[in-house]
Amino acid sequence: MIGLGKWKFTVNTRFYSGEAYLVIEEKDGGYDIHALLANGKKPDFRFSQLQAQGDTITGVAQHSLLQGSLIPFVATFEGGSASGSLDVPFLGVISFSNAEKVG
């Protein structure tokens, strides 16, 4: 499995600017992903339909404020760094690059 661990990156949106984390774990032979903010809050993104191909994980996320919206998610891992994005309706693309594995 690729990308397992805790990845730290910087995000800059109109709702939050600062450090954030993507935690990727193995669960029942698949992936379990959740996001954390440096201030300790956990954004209400729920990730599903996660699939790995090569060095990339794709899937969708959902958020309680965007009922029924499937938000495309992609993360690519190269050695000790990662990059990716969530394409959130009404907010735009939340992207990260040079994410550093910290756990």
14: pLDDT confidence band, cut at 50, 70 and 90?
A: confident
Closest C-alpha to 83, from 1, 4, 8 = 8
13: pLDDT confidence band, cut at 50, 70 and 90?
A: confident
CATH classification of the domain holding 32:
2.40.128
Closest C-alpha to 48, from 34, 38, 37 = 34
In tens, the pLDDT along 20-79 reads 999 999 999 999 999 999 988 998 999 999 999 999 999 999 998 898 899 999 999 998
* Residue numbers of the domain that contains 81: 5-101
What is residue 15's predicted lDDT score, i.e. its pLDDT? 81
- Asked if 46 contacts 59 with a C-beta cutoff of 8 angstroms, the reply is no
Q: Say whether pTM exceeds 0.85.
A: yes
User: Domains in the chain: how many in total?
Assistant: 1
